[in-house]
Amino acid sequence: MINDISKMPDEFYKGKKVLVRVDFNVNIQNGNIGEDYRIRMTIPTIEYLTRRMAKVILVSHLGRPKNRDISFSLAPVSKRLSEILQNTNVRFVDDCVGPQVKQKVSEMKNTDVLLLENLRFYKEEESNSPEFSSELASLADVYVNDGFSTSHRKHSSTYGSAILFKTRLAGFNLKKEIEYLTMIKEKPKKPFVLIIGGVKIRDKIGALENLLPKADKILMGGAAAYTFLKAKGFKVGKSPVDEEHLPWVTKSISKYGDKIILPVDHVVSNSLQNHSIQIVSNNIPDDMTGYDIGTETINIYSKEISENISGTLFWNGPMGFFEVSKFANGTINIAKSMALAYWRGSNTLIGGGDTLEAMKKAGVSEKEVTHVSTGGGATLRFLAGDEMPGLGVLDRE
Ligand code: ADP
Ligand code: 3PG
Ligand code: MG
């Protein structure tokens, strides 16, 4: 059992600098934050620590920038955080290591919150560099992980820096995710149906290796579906394919073919600029890219979802390029079917940064889902029983 922050006596935190790894990887467009669930879910941990007179240093990544790219800045998150934490002194510093950061940390008073700039402005974060890890660790006295959704990564902030601390605890959001998802992992109400879409094909297909034997059915959509369609011999045009996993996918289809449900039609386009679209069945023409599931697929998937009354449904990954309204139909219909399944009594889980954004766009509220998970890839990995470096590093009883 992982120790959470309530394990330590209240006095332990007084005046201590606590480095909290959160996952503020939220959808930001033109400086505006969309769905802020991942931010809101860290409030209990932040406030627990500030009420015990700690100095809270928050670290996170945002997106996948190649280097320092200001469009991936966490500054808008800091603004949202200070709106939510009205009586707390929330500050932002536009770097995450170095003398300027050290200076800001040394100026912190008890109960202050300081958000550091995007960790991925340094490639050393993802390479788990020992130097970068010790720079991060030198900022604080205690390590806390409240970013369940990034705990499948072996990066400096989730792993390399964590092991340098004597005390490494779980935040409340992370603990809650583990408790809920362990229940699902160990005893899912059957049939257990996964709905997988999105664009992080590598991560998701990787997790399916251990999930396929556990699940009763997998409905594939989004960019993740094309690798499966190609493996089955369909033409996928210019749609993205994970060539590396193609042999594994081919093998899985022969072993678990009856569990894997694939789209039978697609919304395709040859240009994102003019948004001219067509619906094609089965094969996608050579000069076209698939951007959403088609009408027939929506009908099949919606029925599978909303009629799974006694079981468990987990949805991660939009069914298409939902940010463009012409390609949002599949995703919106899946979100609505998930809500209907919930009202009919099914156990529903929805997770992933973009999937939560899509759920909001579809007008489905958090109250219409049994458990809204902050994690996408991480939740899939956890349910699959895969190794989670960011969890393995935390203190246990
Ligand atoms: P999550 O954050 O929920 O785990 P991902 O990050 O894997 O999901 O994927 C979300 C992204 O996938 C969205 O930005 C969406 O536009 C994109 N996407 C889904 N299907 C397609 C597609 N067919 N073509 C291009 N992008 C797609
Ligand atoms: C997510 O959105 O799934 C997490 O924030 C992890 O992001 P990553 O896949 O870029 O590591
Ligand atoms: Mg995403």
- Answer whether residue 182 is part of any domain: no
Residues with CB under 6 A from ligand 1: 197-200, 222-223, 290-291, 316-318, 320-323, 352-355, 376-377
* Ligand 2, atom 6, residue with closest C-alpha: 150
Given 137, 152, 175, which residue is the final one in a domain?
175
CA nearest neighbour of 397 among 65, 3, 110: 3
Residue 258 CB partners (closer than 8 Å, separation 6+): none
Atom of ligand 2 nearest to the CA of 353: 2
- Chain-centroid distance, C-alpha 335: 17
Which run of H or of E encompasses 247?
helix 246-256
For 373, phi and psi rounded to 5 degrees?
Answer: -95, 140
Q: Which residue type sits at 33?
A: I
Token pair 């958090």 is found at 366
How confident is residue 29, by pLDDT bands cut at 50, 70 and 90? confident
Tell me the best of 241, 321, 380 to mutate to test the pocket of ligand 1, counting ligand atoms within 8 Å of each CB and taking the most.
321
Give tens-digit pLDDT for 319-346. Answer: 999 999 999 999 999 999 999 999 999 9
353 is catalytic: yes
CB-side neighbour CA atoms (13 Å) of 168: 21
Q: Same domain for 104 and 206?
A: no
Mind listing the pLDDT tens digit for each residue in 36-88?
A: 999 999 999 999 999 999 999 999 999 999 999 999 999 999 999 999 999 99
**Are residues 60 and 74 in contact, defined by beta-carbon separation less than 8 angstroms?**
yes
Q: Looking at the domain assignment, is residue 297 inside a domain? A: yes
Same domain, 12 and 72: yes
DSSP bridge partners of 194: 218, 314
Is residue 327 a part of any domain in this protein? yes
- Verify that 192 and 169 share a domain, yes or no: no
Asked if the structure places residue 181 within a domain, the reply is no
Do 202 and 66 fall within a single domain?
no
| Residue 45 shares a structural domain with residue 171 | yes
Q: Please state the rounded mean pLDDT for residues 134-150.
A: 98
pLDDT at 275 over 70: no
Average pLDDT, the chain: 96
Note whether 102 and 204 are same-domain residues: no
Q: How far apart are CA 156 and CA 160, in angstroms?
A: 4
Known catalytic residue at 367:
no
Contacts of 187 (CB under 8 A, 6+ apart): none
Q: Into how many domains does the chain fold?
A: 2
Could you tell me if residue 214 is inside a domain?
Answer: yes
393 in any annotated domain? no
Which of 24, 38, 200 gets mutated to test ligand 2 (max ligand atoms within 8 A of its CB)? 200
In a domain, 397, yes or no: no
- How confident is the model at residue 121, as a pLDDT? 98
Q: Is the CB of 23 under 6 A from ligand 2?
A: yes
118 pLDDT band, cuts 50/70/90, is: very high
274 pLDDT more than 80? no
pLDDT exceeds 70 at position 286: yes
Segment (H or E) for 206: helix 201-211
Residue 360: predicted pLDDT: 94
Told to judge if 200 belongs to the known catalytic residues of this protein, a careful annotator would answer yes
- Report the CATH number at residue 20: 3.40.50.1260
Domain identity same for 169 and 192: no
Distance CA 321, CA 323 (A): 6
Q: For residue range 156-191, list pLDDT tens digits in order.
A: 999 999 999 999 999 999 999 999 999 999 999 999
Give how far the C-alpha of residue 328 lies from the chain's centroid of Cα atoms, to the nearest Å: 19
pLDDT of residue 276: 83
Q: Are residues 231 and 297 in the same domain?
A: yes
Which of these three, 140, 175, 210, is where a domain ends? 175
Q: 397 C-alpha vs ligand 3 centroid, how far in Å?
A: 33
Q: Is residue 125 part of a domain?
A: yes
Task: Looking at the structure, tell me whether residues 171 and 195 fall in a common domain.
Answer: no
Helix, strand, coil percentages (3-state) for the chain, rounded to 5, are 45, 20, 40
Backbone angles phi, psi at 205, to 5 degrees: -65, -35
Cα-to-centroid distance, 352 and ligand 3 (Å): 6
pLDDT, average across residues 121-133: 98
Domain boundary among 125, 147, 175: 175
| Whether 135 and 202 share a structural domain | no
Given a cut of 70, whether residue 314 has pLDDT beyond it is yes
124 with 93, same domain?
A: yes
CB 124 within 8 A of CB 156: yes
> Smallest Cα–Cα separation from 7: which of 243, 123, 147, 171?
171
Distance (Å, whole) CA 178 – CA 40: 18
Nearest Cα residue to atom 7 of ligand 2: 150
Q: Based on the domain organization, do 56 and 95 belong to the same domain?
A: yes
Q: What is the mean pLDDT of residues 115-136?
A: 98
Domain that includes residue 341, residue range: 188-383
Report the chain's terminal Cα–Cα distance, integer Å: 6
**Residues 6+ positions from 286 with CB-CB distance below 8 Å:** 235, 237, 238
